[in-house]
Chains A and B, each alone.
Chain A
Amino acid sequence: MNLSLSAKLVKEVTEIRLAFTHPSEDGQRQDPKTGRFIPYNFVKQFQIKADDRPLFASDLGGGLANNPQFLFKAKGLKPGTRISVDWVTSTEVVNDKGRKEEKEEKGRAEAVVQG
């Protein structure tokens, strides 16, 4: 799981681009060879803040394209503003008792607004 994050001030709008390297499986797709359902595995949520002020809170599903990408816009964020993205991914795993359960992975990426 990798997140590439960039933030750039273009005229008066700060463009924030996210590019996740991660599958987008919703658990509904069948493997064409085995017929088995491919377990869900997708980017589930992220929150974007500017200098710790909330900007975007996103909830996502497995219907996005693989390696999900996003372009967000914010007003008036000056160069040097610290942008942070806290993300969560969700995967179906089989636990020690042989039961399916959800495993979440969390992480954070940071970038600074470029002028």
Chain B
Amino acid sequence: MKNISHTRRSLLRASAALPLAWLAAALEPVRALAADWPIGLFKSPSTQEALKRLQATKAEPGKQILLEVPEVSDRTDSVPVRVMSLVPSTEQITILVDQALRPVVAQFNFSGDAVADVTTYVKLPGVSHVRAVVKAGSSIYVVAHEIKLAQEGCAAPLPQADKAQSGKTRPHHAKAGKA
């Protein structure tokens, strides 16, 4: 942000006499609306590039993060995604759909009384991994889950032996326990 240090300095001067709680809230950067939309991040054509931009290539698996998505979905136009972070001082959650042409879908920044628990709905390009990148101070965590599509739930590759027996039809065997 261009003017952030100026804003912080003038806020510090102005709020010297105010109670501590108000001071803490006033130090949160107030962004100019529409400024700083992270265009490079949203235009990243791959999850790998997006993770680099998020400085999340060496992120730890998020143990205190709940990423709630359906295991199987029967629709691709609107799928619920919830990310809840129990990591103290979580500042930011970014949601990605790995297989989308542009994986980054949303980025949420939290301040003041906000709780790091957000739910929204995403589009799926097909079977996808939905990924959450959580930033808390200098720590970054990543969690991802796969969402399968309902029609594909029963498909399984034919065992090798069947390929030799052309002309015979065999039913697909649903592989239980993999979902």
A residues at B contact (CB < 8 Å): 13-14, 24, 26, 28, 44-45, 47, 50, 53-66, 68-77, 86, 88, 104, 106
* B104→A55 contact, CB < 8 A: no
Measured as residues with beta carbon below 8 angstroms from the partner, the interface class of chain B is 35 or more
Q: Which of A24, A47, A75, A104 contacts B123 (CB 8 A)?
A: A24
Chain A CB within 8 A of B101 CB: yes
A28-B121 contact, Cβ under 8 Å, with A54-B112, A58-B109, A74-B113: no
- A13 CB, min distance to chain B CBs, angstroms: 7
A-B pairs with beta carbons under 8 A, tally: 115
Chain A positions within 8 Å of B25 at CB level: 53
**Given A56-B109, A74-B114, CB of A63 within 8 Å of CB of B34:** no
Distance of A47 Cα from B30 Cα, bound (Å): 10
Partner of A63, one of B112, B119, B123: B123
Give the 7 A-B CB pairs with smallest separation, nearest first.
A65-B78, A63-B105, A65-B121, A71-B119, A73-B115, A57-B109, A61-B42
**Quick one: closest B residue to A73, CB to CB?**
B115
Task: Give A13's nearest chain B residue, CB to CB.
Answer: B115
- From A43, which residue of chain B is reached at the shortest CB distance? B106
* Contact sample, A vs B, 30 pairs, CB 8 Å cutoff: A24-B123, A45-B33, A47-B31, A47-B33, A50-B113, A55-B110, A55-B112, A55-B114, A56-B111, A57-B31, A58-B109, A59-B38, A59-B42, A60-B105, A60-B106, A61-B42, A63-B102, A63-B123, A65-B79, A70-B118, A72-B115, A72-B117, A73-B118, A74-B114, A74-B115, A75-B113, A76-B113, A88-B33, A104-B34, A106-B33
